[in-house]
Structure 1
Amino acid sequence: MHHVSEAPGAPLRGIIPPLVTPLADHSTLDLPGLERLTEHVIGGGVHGLFILGTTGEAPGLGASLKHELVRRVCGSVSRRVPVLVGISETAITESLAIAETAHRCGADALVLAPPYYFPATQDELLGYLERLAPQLPLPLFLYNMPYRPPVFAPETVRQAMTMPGIAGLKDSSGDMCYFQKIRALFADFPHASLFIGPEQLLAESVLTGAHGGVCAGANLFPKLYVALYHAAVAGDLRRTVELHGEVMEVCRLIYEAGHGASSVIKGLKCALGSLGLCSDFMAEPFQRFGEPERRRIAEAAQRLKASLT
């Protein structure tokens, strides 16, 4: 049986895919697709799953669907790997409600980005964490969001890490100077995990001391990301550089078919759909790609699959 810590005080490590949310329509999960996707990533050797993150389109999902997703994923994972659940809501009551469902269903940890409507100062963020953390039934990871301020400033992170129940940080900022500052201050917190979000930075992050990656492409090709993680941990530079090149090809062929930040999730869902893993229906305000992009991504996904296996 897996838990967040392999031993008391041991940080969580490895590849934790931010699971896409397979949808049949705006208010219905694609349940067979969710089951196939879950088995696909676990079969690929990942070290955990993160649901209700950015790649999971969490802000576009209704409350009841979010709770159902938590129940379904925790049920089918059945404690084979840790499950992390996003609670990045604008209302604290909603965050606490998802946290409660996660705890009841056997999830292992929670993930929180700064509330994303009202801009908050660092002092306000710290106060929020001080009030929220003691009410949570599971360990909490902080999540630095890619798209907008506020970020958790390094000093805020340092103070947050002294609070009971705060277990680490996922950084999706793409700013390696920020990431390295956090990595340096984590030397004082041996219990804490530091994860990188953007997979383009996975190799260098793990080589310089990150505990792993929360990489969207691991939905599609989990074995590739797990292999890259292990090569970097082992310090096998030649193999790390080679696998990093393969990850960059996934990014180029799957994520860059459209324009705007949404094209990563659209490309990923399109590729997953073309490989028969799950539906590519998108939560509003986004729509799946049109025919030309879909054809291009389907061909790329088949080509990548053949070259990676």
Structure 2
Amino acid sequence: MKTLDSSAKGAYLIAVTPFADDGSLDLASTDRMVDFYLEKGATGLTILGIMGEAPKLTAEESRIFVRQVLARVNGRVPVIVGASAPGFAPMRELTESVMELGASGVMVAPPSTVRTDDQIVAYFDMVNETLGPEVPWCLQDHPVATGVQMSASVILRVLKNSPTCVMLKHEDNPGLAKLSAIRAAGERGDAPRVSILTGNGGGLFLPEELTRGADGAMTGFAYPEMMVDVVKAHAAGDVERAHDIFDAYLPLARYEQQPGVGLAVRKHLMLKRGVIASEAVRKPGPKLSAADVADIERLVARQTRRLQEIGRSGKA
């Protein structure tokens, strides 16, 4: 497995965790899901993230799931594992376990308990100590989920202190000016130049973020080919084509990003696409109503027509 480094780019797709109807891990669907992401052109995968329901898994389930994904990927693309934890002991234990299994690196977000700039910097100094000098890691900046606001200047302080932090997952919103500032600092040599991959709710600002200097996307959507194709078109210099592709998927991507119900929407669509066998979200979790399903069907039909209009297949 390739070790994560600051040259990472493309589309790192955030995977869901498939469950059976009874809430148990579905490893057969996990294999199909990995195949699906790779067939759609994933540059890398990120597992046990916020949309991967990581807090609902036991430590043993986490290891089983990671082992299954890594075995199926079989070194074809890098795999990043979410390692955020309430304490440093479980963070170290999970990190050591997944790196031994062949993960490329881990991702860490700040806990909700850190508030001041100095507290944030001190926390990530302890992350560096916990992970050690051999484990590359990704800094996750996702204030909506963590409640922690990290300014560009704070992130640059963290990067200067963290030689093994090789990637920033940028998910602040609004965050375009922040992204520009971090990228400019790296280009000037004021801070290490790290890979910047963007999330922001299914990539809702992906074309603009790529124009501001992002190296790619790290997010999830039931149609991951959107991220793959937008990143490819933008990298090829066809910015208008990137926007056209993005616009065709935007209504459904927006719908999937509703707080609370979004994961249920994504799993429903992945079930319909034949990727997973059940749309189950582990409890506590939402269930879709008949009205929700009707909305989704309408949006998928409109998306299919629009993709055909711009010369794309629009097939499931």
Give TM class, smaller chain.
0.7 to 0.9
- For 1:273, the equivalent position in structure 2 comes to 271
Q: Is 2:239 the counterpart of 1:237?
A: yes
Deviates more, 1:129-138 or 1:64-73: 129-138
- For 1:169, the equivalent position in structure 2 comes to 168
Q: What residue identity is the alignment partner of 1:244?
A: F
| C-alpha distance 78-204 of structure 1, shift in aligned 2 (>3 A) | same
Q: Is 2:217 the counterpart of 1:213?
A: yes
Could you give the per-residue CA deviations for residues 9-68 of structure 1, whole angstroms, max 9, x where no partner exists?
x52101111111111257621111111111001111111000111221223333222222
| C-alpha distance 71-178 of structure 1, shift in aligned 2 (>3 A) | same
- For 1:224, the equivalent position in structure 2 comes to 226
Gaps of 5+ in 1: none
Q: What residue identity is the alignment partner of 2:180?
A: Q
1:2 positional shift: 4.0
Q: What residue identity is the alignment partner of 1:211?
A: D
Q: Given the alignment, which residue of 104, 110, 129 partners 2:106? A: 110
- For 2:34, the equivalent position in structure 1 comes to 38
The SS at the match of 2:80 is strand
Q: State the alpha-carbon separation in 2 of the partners of residues 49 and 26 from structure 1.
A: 26
1:295 positional shift: 4.4
RMSD of equivalent CA atoms: 2.2
- For 1:290, the equivalent position in structure 2 comes to 289
Q: Given the alignment, which residue of 115, 118, 134 partners 2:129? A: 134
The SS at the match of 1:28 is coil
Could you give the per-residue CA deviations for residues 95-136 of structure 1, whole angstroms, max 9, x where no partner exists?
1111111101101011011113x2442212212211221332
Q: State the alpha-carbon separation in 1 of the partners of residues 32 and 270 from structure 2.
A: 10
Relative to the length of structure 1, the TM-score reads 0.88
The question of whether the paired residues in 1 share the 8 Å contact of 2:216 and 2:231 is answered with yes
1:247 positional shift: 2.9
| C-alpha distance 272-301 of structure 1, shift in aligned 2 (>3 A) | farther
The SS at the match of 2:204 is helix
Q: Given the alignment, which residue of 77, 81, 84 partners 2:73? A: 77
Q: What residue identity is the alignment partner of 1:236?
A: D
Deviates more, 1:298-307 or 1:183-192: 298-307
Q: State the alpha-carbon separation in 2 of the partners of residues 68 and 305 from structure 1.
A: 36
The SS at the match of 2:205 is helix
The SS at the match of 2:4 is coil
Deviates more, 1:24-33 or 1:43-52: 24-33
Q: State the alpha-carbon separation in 1 of the partners of residues 21 and 88 from structure 2.
A: 27
Gaps of 5+ in 2: 308-313
1:225 positional shift: 1.7
Relative to the length of structure 2, the TM-score reads 0.86
Identity %: 25
Q: State the alpha-carbon separation in 2 of the partners of residues 274 and 296 from structure 1.
A: 14
The question of whether the paired residues in 2 share the 8 Å contact of 1:50 and 1:84 is answered with yes
- For 1:22, the equivalent position in structure 2 comes to 18
Q: State the alpha-carbon separation in 2 of the partners of residues 300 and 238 from structure 1.
A: 23
- For 1:150, the equivalent position in structure 2 comes to 148
Q: Report 1:194-205 matches (<5 A).
A: 194-198=196-200, 199-205=203-209
Deviates more, 1:220-229 or 1:175-184: 175-184
Deviates more, 1:52-61 or 1:36-45: 52-61
The question of whether the paired residues in 2 share the 8 Å contact of 1:71 and 1:101 is answered with no
| C-alpha distance 54-157 of structure 1, shift in aligned 2 (>3 A) | same
The question of whether the paired residues in 2 share the 8 Å contact of 1:275 and 1:302 is answered with no
The SS at the match of 2:35 is helix
The SS at the match of 1:29 is coil
The question of whether the paired residues in 1 share the 8 Å contact of 2:3 and 2:136 is answered with no
